[in-house]
């Protein structure tokens, strides 16, 4: 019997392989695990518990994640190349909060009753699918895992989860913590592997009733096709983005808050973020001043070793990604764009790929850098003269995930927010909202369900109508 091929866990920090040897899950092993998950579901050891009992186990899981927070942050930093400070301050606490929130929310779900007449009781309830699956991206391994693990398990499903092949270790640790928390074996199964084999097997597995995917639009299309060709499982897709930040002339009233939040939107996680505000649209009246202040703030960001707590921007995920994004910059420059900052790799840690914060303006309207997601620390600045032009520029992309609108005139901010084609719009801030509000995209950014809020439970449950004729 041949040994399973280990996953190539190359550390973005320096390109090294590290010591971890994580075997890749085969398609046959996926089938074995989904079969086992189905048996666990039907046994009732988890699905048959009172919702508060499941909530208690998930709250114990959150406590254990908090206990191991430093270890989880170190794994995220090593595998994804994310700045350690970002993992410590944002990603790990956010994941813990997600687990707690969904655990505490599950007993707030209700069905409905309908006025069908005196001789009838008509009602609906939601029930778990049984075996469900999730496929994760590499840029937020732990945060995205928590968004899926917590609601899927809270309602009683057994979840088979595939982390990205390059960033499995933090999620594998959570699987161990789930067992320690008292969640029965087989209720949460983490299967590291490649998308071509393990991911494809999950998308085609007939035992899986629902699958939630976060990742690229190209992969999302393949998953949707596989599901359509097999058991028509429910598919929820959260994919790419090319988010605009629309800045009206009166937005300068927000001072440094405007600059700091547009910088965060553009460069958080080195721009490797699906909601990254990579297209800045600024009114011509303030374009010169805004651009000067934005470029100065971007140039002050610390591009450095992700293990250094002073680092603002770490490496991009790998050499191929760096080559692809810098080629797009050069193509735009050759077409007449002006590179105001960056546009190069910077030697930081040997073997890593550190792309400098990059800002371009005067980009030709037809340039692909304005429409294609680069997933890197690269921002374009365009100008507009009125509301209509701002909206047209914002909507000139096949994506529709997120947008920001900055204006001191709330009427205008609301009008533009309604006109922009995006699933999440923040006003006078960069925000994806908190756990109480839904998150999901339009167009090529996805469909089929939302993350966060009570509505996230809809991805993991199906509605049943019950019609009772009364005789008496």
Q: Which residues contact 6 (CB under 8 A, 6 or more apart)?
A: 21, 22, 23, 24
Dig out the tokens for 51 from the structure. 């919702």
Alpha-carbon distance of 458 to 440, in angstroms, equals: 13
**Residue 54 near residue 156 (C-beta atoms within 8 A):** yes
Cα gap 335→456, rounded to integer Å: 44
Question: 216, 238, 247: which is closest to 394 by C-alpha?
Answer: 247
- 358 CA to centre of own chain: 23
Q: Which residue has the tokens 């029930």?
A: 127
Compute the C-alpha angle 322/328/329, nearest 5°: 90
- Give catalytic residue positions: 238, 274
Helix axes 255-267, 287-299, angle to 10 degrees: 60
Which are the contacts of 302, defined by CB distance < 8 A and separation ≥ 6? 310, 311, 312, 313
| Residues 147-167: b if buried by 16+ CB within 10 A, e if exposed | bbbbbbbbbbbbbbbbbbbbb
Which uninterrupted H or E stretch holds 466? strand 461-469
Measured in whole angstroms, the distance separating CA 306 from the mean position of its chain's CA atoms is 20
Q: Are 312 and 328 in contact (CB under 8 A)?
A: no
The SS3 of residue 22 is coil
Coil, helix or strand at residue 183:
coil
The beta-strand segments (E) located in 146-266 are 158-162, 188-190, 208-214, 234-238, 244-247
Determine contact, residues 295/266, Cβ cutoff 8 Å: no
């Amino acid at each position: 019997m041949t040994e399973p091929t280990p996953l190539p866990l190359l550390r973005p920090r320096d390109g090294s392989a590290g010591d971890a040897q994580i075997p890749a899950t085969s398609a046959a092993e996926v089938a074995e695990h989904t079969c086992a998950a189905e048996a666990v579901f039907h046994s009732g050891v988890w699905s048959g518990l009172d919702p508060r009992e499941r909530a208690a186990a998930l709250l114990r899981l959150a406590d254990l994640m908090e206990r191991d927070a430093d270890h989880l942050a170190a794994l995220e930093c090593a595998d994804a190349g994310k700045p350690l400070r970002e993992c410590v301050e944002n990603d790990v606490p956010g994941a813990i909060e997600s687990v707690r929130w969904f655990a505490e929310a599950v007993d707030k779900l209700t069905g409905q009753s309908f006025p069908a007449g005196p001789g009838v009781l008509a009602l609906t309830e939601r029930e778990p699918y049984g075996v469900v699956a999730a496929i994760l991206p590499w840029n937020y391994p732990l945060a995205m895992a928590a968004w899926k693990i917590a609601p899927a398990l809270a309602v009683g499903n057994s979840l088979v989860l595939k982390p990205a092949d390059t960033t499995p270790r933090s999620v594998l640790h959570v699987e161990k913590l789930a067992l320690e928390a008292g969640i029965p074996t087989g209720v949460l199964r983490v299967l590291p592997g490649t998308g071509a084999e393990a991911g494809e097997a999950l998308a085609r597995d007939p035992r899986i009733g629902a699958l939630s995917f976060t990742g690229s639009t190209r992969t999302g299309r393949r998953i949707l096709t596989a599901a359509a060709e097999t058991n028509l499982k429910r598919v929820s897709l959260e994919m790419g983005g090319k988010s605009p930040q629309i800045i009206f002339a009166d937005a300068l009233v927000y001072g440094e808050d405007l600059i700091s939040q547009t910088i965060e939107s553009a460069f958080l996680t080195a721009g490797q973020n699906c909601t990254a505000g990579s297209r800045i649209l600024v009114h011509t009246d303030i374009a010169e001043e805004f651009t000067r202040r934005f470029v100065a703030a971007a140039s002050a960001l610390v591009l450095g070793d992700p293990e250094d707590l002073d680092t603002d921007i770490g490496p991009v995920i790998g050499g191929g990604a760096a080559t692809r994004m810098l080629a797009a910059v050069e193509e735009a420059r050759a077409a007449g764009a002006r590179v105001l900052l960056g546009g190069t790799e910077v030697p930081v840690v040997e073997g890593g790929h550190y792309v400098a914060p990059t800002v371009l303006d005067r980009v030709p309207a037809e340039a692909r850098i304005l429409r294609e997601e680069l997933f890197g620390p690269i921002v374009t600045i365009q100008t507009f003269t009125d509301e209509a032009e701002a909206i047209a520029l914002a909507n000139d992309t096949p994506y529709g995930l997120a947008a920001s609108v900055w204006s001191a005139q709330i009427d205008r901010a609301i009008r533009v927010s309604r006109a922009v084609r995006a699933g999440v719009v923040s006003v006078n801030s960069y925000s994806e909202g908190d756990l109480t509000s839904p998150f999901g995209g339009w167009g090529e950014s996805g469909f089929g369900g939302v993350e966060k809020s009570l509505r996230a439970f809809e991805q993991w449950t199906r509605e049943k109508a019950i019609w009772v004729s009364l005789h008496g």
